[in-house]
Structure 1
Amino acid sequence: MVAFTKGHGTGNDFIIIADPDGSLDLTPEQVAVLCDRNFGVGADGVLRVVRSSAIPEGAAALAEEPSAEWFMDYRNADGSVAEMCGNGIRVFAHYLVRSGLAELAAGSTLPIGTRAGVRDVMRSETGYQVDLGRWRLAGGEPLARAHGLPVARPGLGIDVGNPHVVVALASEQELSGLDLTMIPVLEPVPAGGANVEFVVPGEPLVRDGIGHVRMRVHERGVGETLSCGTGVAATALAVRYWAGQHAPDNWRVEVPGGTLGVRMFPAEDGEHVALSGPAQLVFTGEIELA
């Protein structure tokens, strides 16, 4: 039997499994069964809590930041490995704090290893804030086709540790009319796939110096989710890029599962993007792995 905790960040839900010494070798098939909403626990992904020293990928994290004791081994619902998860890392940090595996006092940071590098988490007014690191434009402007969208639209490739394509829509009606149970088609197809975000601006776009947008997302290896933290960051970055040099650096992004904050700020290695929002633990249990 394997003990687990269920948690979520704005409806993006995860199965958290503590495996400090790295003794549990989860197969993609086991992850897929765990995440199945009819035959398993049900989730958008699995967060394995493992010490950086106990997993091969953790060596790079410890080389980057020796105090990054914990590594977030994140798997998508289909069992595939993912580089990073913005909602997941807040839930991961909340689990570490609540379970006594780490401390996070106000004003301090908690470094967490991921396949996209070490990410620093701190407390915020809404829960937790994570520095997602330096972002970059990536992949040009692929065309995106989605069920319910009559004409293909150009997207903008954004990399925030994992790949995204952000697509602007004309209206709330277009956004609500999308059927994201079907995978959007990108042309050209990104080599490693991508999360695809569809966004409409708020009216007005900027209020009191803060940008406002709404979005829905199809996550690679998962499907449509109620929220995607890195997708929220990519969406804010794309809309700011489209809006021009006078656009704000602070954004509120509304997703089906709630609202998340995004902030862009300068750092030594270039501009970083931070994501803030809630994290909740819902229940614990045990399950037998096949």
Structure 2
Amino acid sequence: MNRPAPSTPAASLWRFTKMHGAGNDFVMLDGVNQRLDVTPERARALADRHFGIGADQILLVEPAQSADADFRYRIFNADGGEVEHCGNGARCFVRFVHEQGLSAANPLRAQIRTGVITLNDDPELGVEVDMGVTRFAPADVDFDAQGLEHAAQGQDTLWMLPMPGQDAPMALSLVSISNPHAVQVVEDVQNAPVRTVGPFIESHPRFARKVNAGFMQVMDPHHIRLRVYERGAGETLACGTGACAAVVAGIRRGLLQSPVVVDTRGGALRVQWDGRQLRMSGPAQTVFDGQVDIDALCASLARKETF
């Protein structure tokens, strides 16, 4: 594929696009036509909602390093940490590539940290993402299960994580979709303690790389409501991999049947899983384009963090 050579803008001026997928918002960076060095500090500055642009994640599009991919796609959480996968971000990634004229390929193949995923952009139906392989062993989410009670439900294994101040432990389904998830079923997701229990699960020492904490309410076998406290970002309006993890866990538990509509605070997603292939579809919306002085942002963030 012929691509233009990267330009050399003023040292600290970066062009960007703000996008969202069901309210999960991103700063998109074209690393094909710009020379960009995204560091944890710079990612935090871009994501900061007071001094920066504001985002749950920073998404960087770069030339592929693999012959079987069209582009490399990197994800940085709001805390600056680079992570493996982002389902809502993947939909915005393919829409961004097409709208910016970086490629007309459809489907599009994106290289992420754990492999290559395939994305199809339909202007009317939205973007559909092949989410890759699902895994369920504690080791797949770097979870230390030693000494914990567990119980079988359907084809799933529920791990009982004690919660301080509560008699009953939390029953968690563990799902890896390139990134780690812990999903629990709640009776009323609107009133679930996401902002208190979410951080407890996310940073629990048994999860070596932290974890995304999902809270799922089953409405019927083809419909759930979901909130997710994301690793390194806090609660977001939607989480694509979290939606997939919840649906897969629900199907394995015998509570759900594919396909499943996942209602999040930011919109609806659709997830299909046949026990092998996992696909998710939903919206990807451009909000605005702009240019930012990254050095000035970092200076502002440094003052905020050290005052």
TM-score, structure 1 normalization: 0.84
Post-superposition offset of 1:146 = 7.7
Provide the residue aligned with 2:265 in structure 1: 256
Q: Which moved more, 1:184-193 or 1:73-82?
A: 184-193
More deviation in 42-51 or 147-156? 147-156
3-state SS of 2:89 partner: helix
List per-residue Cα deviations over 1:141-160 (Å, max 9, x = no partner): 44457899885411010011
Runs (5+) with no aligned partner, structure 1? 53-57
Structure 2 counterpart of 1:87? 88
What does residue 231 of structure 2 align with?
Answer: 220
User: How many residues are matched?
Assistant: 263
1:13-162 to 2 correspondences below 5 Å = 13-20=25-32, 23-52=35-64, 58=65, 61-62=66-67, 65=68, 68-104=69-105, 108-124=106-122, 125-139=124-138, 141-143=158-160, 152-162=169-179
Let me know the Cα RMSD of the aligned residues.
2.4
What is the CA distance between 1:103 and its match in structure 2? 1.2
Partner of 1:282: 287
Q: Comparing 17-26 with 162-171, which one deviates more in the overlay?
A: 17-26
Q: Which of 170, 175, 179 does residue 187 from structure 2 map onto?
A: 170
Return the letter of the residue paired with 1:192.
R
Write 1 or 2 for the structure with the bigger share of strand: 1
In the alignment, is the contact (CA less than 8 A) between 2:136 and 2:176 conserved in 1?
yes
CA deviation vs aligned residue, 1:192-212 (integer Å, no higher than 9, x gap): 11111011100xx13xxxx11
Distance 1:145 1:255, change over 3 A: farther
Contact 2:189/2:226 (8 A) holds in 1 = no
Q: Which amino acid aligns with 2:46?
A: L
Q: CA deviation digits over 1:97-117, x for unaligned, max 9?
A: 11111114xxx5111111121
Does 1:190 find its partner at 2:191?
no
Residue equivalent to 1:9: 21
Name the SS of the counterpart of 2:250 in structure 1: helix
Cα distance between partner residues in 2 of 1:283 and 1:180: 33
Contact 1:181 1:223 in 2 (8 A): no
CA distance in 2: counterparts of 1:147 and 1:128, whole angstroms = 41
**Deviation readout 1:80-124 (Å, 9 max, x if unpaired):** 0110110001001000011111114xxx51111111211100134
Partner amino acid, structure 2, of 1:122: N
Structure 1 contact 148–179 (Cα < 8 Å) conserved: no
Instruction: Name structure 2 gaps, 5 residues minimum.
Output: 1-12, 139-156, 296-307
Evaluate the alpha carbon distance shift between residue 24 and residue 174 of structure 1 in structure 2; reply closer, same or farther with a 3 A threshold: same
Letter in structure 2 aligned against 1:262? V
Q: Percent identity?
A: 34
Paired residue secondary structure (2:247): helix
Structure (1 or 2) with the larger CA radius of gyration: 2
- Are 2:195 and 2:229, in contact at CA under 8 Å, matched by a contact in 1? no
